[in-house]
Every structure is written in C-alpha cells, then in structure tokens.
Amino acid sequence: MRLKLMKMLENEKITKIKEVLKIKKVYTTVIAILLVITCTSIYYALENDVTVIVNNKNQEIHTFSNTVQELLKEQNIELGKNDKVLPDLNSKLKDNMKITVKRAFEVNLVLNGEVQKIITTEDTVEGMLKENKVTVSELDKVIPSLKHELSKNDEIKIVRVEEKLVTQTEDVGYDVETLYDNKLEIGRVEKVQDGIYGKKESTYKVRYSDGKEESRMLVSENTIQDPINKIIKKGTKDFIVTSRGQTKSFKKSIIVNASAYTAGFESTGKRPGDKGYGKTYMGTTVRPGVIAVDPKVIPLGSKVYIPHLGMTCVAEDTGGAIKGNKIDIYMASLPKANKFGRKNLKVYVLK
C-alpha cells in the first residue's frame, strides 16, 4: 500500500514536470516570435523611401541612411562649392521626403553699366537678385523679367530709372510786327524797334535711365516777363522818278559793285576778227547801255535803271568775275572804262 502510494506521488510529480516543460517550450516560442516581429519592425522603421532631385531629374531611393548628408554620400552624389541642398545636410531623413540638390551656375548681371559675374543656384531672376541683395524699384527695368527662369550664362540687365521735377527758366519768343510804308522803296526793310525775349519758369517731370535723360513732360509753367515784339517797316513804293521826270516801276532795288569794260583785248581777251568779238552772252552786239550781270541776281534780258548814269541799261552779258551783286557796264572806249573805275551803286530792276 505504501509502495503504491509512493508510485502515485512519483507519477504526479513527473506529470507536473512535463507540464512545466511544455509551458517553457511555449514561452520560448512566443519569445522567439516576438523577437522576430521586433527585429522586423526595427528593420522597416530604419528604412525610408525618399526622392532625390538633381538637375530636375527624380530618383526614388530606399535607404537606411539617417541624414541627408549620409544619403548623398551613400549615393555618391558630390556637391560643388556653391551647390545647395534642400533640406540642409543635417536634416533627419523621413519617409517620402524630397531632397533637392541645386547645382550652382554662372550668370552675367549688368548693373550701373558694369558686368558682374554671379554664381547662383536660384531658379528665377527675382530669386537671384534677392540672394545678392540687389533691390529693384517699381520704375526700374529688369531684362528679362523677374519671373524669367535662369539658365547658365544668362545676361540680366537692370536699368535704374528715376523721375525728378526739374524747374528751369526759358526764353519766350517774340513776334515780328510789320508796318508797310509807301514812302519806302519796295524791298527795303527798316527796323523800328528791337524785339526782346520774355522769360518763363517751366517745371518738367524728367525721367532718367541709368543717369541719362529719357523723356520729359511739362508739368507747369509761369510767365515771369512778357516779350516785347520786334517792329519793322517794309517799303511798298515800287516806282522811281528819274532825273528827267519819268516814272519807272521796278521790281526791286539793290546795291551793286559796278565796274566798266570794253569789247577790246584788255577786257575780253579778244581782238577784232576773233570769234565772238564784240558779242554779248545773249548773242547781241555790245553797245552803250549793255551791262554784264550774274543771272542769279539779275535775270538776263532785264532792264536796269542806274540813277548814277541817268539811263536804263539792258542785262545781256555775263562775265567770269561778275558773281553776286556785281555788274559790268559797257563803255565805248578804254579811257572811259578806266575813268569809271569801280564803285558801289544803287540800281533798279524794272518791271
């Protein structure tokens, strides 16, 4: 009986031991499973899916890197001296993060007439200017526009524009008043009164581009001094009474420098028998009362009254030295021509 009891106790002990071992086995399995789950979670927690953008090209990357700097090193993406990375290199990586690498490039900035080499990573003209602390007013001209997308070697020109109010004193022109006088010969003009300029103060809005005046607009003006008109007399008398009491109508009167000539060799270089000897430019025969003229001043064929001679002459000849207000009066003999000499005379071109 005692022996049977001991055996029963031993069997019960063995059963309990087996149960304990069974529980330990289950526990070990659970621990193993938990370890696998934990490691897997840690694995997936350390991995990030990120997008790296370089030169506008996207690259999807699975990485265990911790920071942006580590990721770039892992991917062998080297940075130049002036390149920029967004976000910065020390930023912690997150899942679905976008990392942008901006490569620096050179553009030309024309400012105040001078060309500057600018290294930038900005996308637009506006960004580049802000980056370099270049301010632009509303009037300034930016070529190309602020929104222009930059490329390597682009030229950006800034024209500084400013507007100023400029006040200056200016002359005011005077008019010319004409008085007609029938006692004054036609063609004669006499001054009665000098004209005097007036004065006015004018204010302009002046626009300057890079210091050079581009435009001006009158804003206001104020007269300081009124102008005084010039007054002249013009002759209307178109006739002359000769020494013999004859009335002759004329087109104009002029002062000429008069000389005398003959048909001979001393005046014309021709002798009797030579071709053209004794003939005028118009083909007529020289004779007293013929004069040589400049046709631009006295048309050929005109009748000219010469008060000094008391006679009317005809313009039929010309001469190489007769230019402008000059005439050459034909004389029948060389002594008469020499005696006449040269003198200033008033002559009338008749109607």
Note the pLDDT tens digit of each residue in 227-247.
Answer: 999 999 999 999 999 888 899
pLDDT tens digits along 163-217? 999 999 999 999 999 999 999 988 889 999 999 999 999 999 999 999 999 999 9
Burial readout 186-196 (b: 16 or more C-beta within 10 A, e: otherwise): bbeeeeeeebe
- Amino acid at site 102: K
Q: What is the mean pLDDT of the chain?
A: 88
pLDDT of residue 187: 82
Domains in the chain (CATH in brackets) are 48-102 (3.10.20.90), 105-159 (3.10.20), 163-234 (2.20.230.10), 240-350 (2.40.40.10)
* Contact between residue 326 and residue 259 where contact means Cβ atoms under 8 Å apart: yes
2: helix, strand or coil = helix
Assess whether pLDDT exceeds 80 at residue 3: no
What does the alpha-carbon distance between residue 74 and residue 62 come to, in Å, rounded to a whole number?
11
pLDDT of residue 34: 46
Q: Which residues contact 99 (CB under 8 A, 6 or more apart)?
A: 50, 51, 52, 53, 68, 71, 72, 85, 86, 87
* Residue that the structure tokens 């009986």 belong to: 1
With cut-offs at 50, 70 and 90, classify the pLDDT of residue 12: low
Mean pLDDT, residues 1-20 taken together: 59
What does the alpha-carbon distance between residue 303 and residue 266 come to, in Å, rounded to a whole number?
26
10: helix, strand or coil = helix
pLDDT of residue 251: 92
pLDDT tens digits along 49-104? 999 998 888 889 999 899 999 988 988 888 888 999 999 889 999 999 999 999 99
β-sheet with 176-185: strand ranges across: 176-185, 230-237, 189-193
87 preceded by cis ω (within 30°)?
Answer: yes
At CB < 8 A and 24+ separation, what contacts does 268-272 make?
A: none
Assess whether pLDDT exceeds 50 at residue 39: no
* Contact between residue 122 and residue 148 where contact means Cβ atoms under 8 Å apart: no
Assess whether pLDDT exceeds 90 at residue 42: no
pLDDT tens digits along 307-340? 999 999 999 999 989 999 999 999 999 999 999 9
pLDDT of residue 167: 96
Assess whether pLDDT exceeds 60 at residue 37: no
* Contact between residue 181 and residue 233 where contact means Cβ atoms under 8 Å apart: yes
Assess whether pLDDT exceeds 90 at residue 118: yes
Quick one: which of 165, 216, 217, 173 has its CA closest to 196? 173
pLDDT of residue 1: 53
pTM of the model: 0.49
pLDDT tens digits along 249-305? 999 999 999 999 999 999 999 999 999 999 999 999 999 999 999 999 999 999 999
pLDDT tens digits along 16-33? 655 655 655 655 554 545
Tokens of 297: 């001043």
β-sheet with 98-102: strand ranges across: 57-63, 48-54, 98-102, 84-86
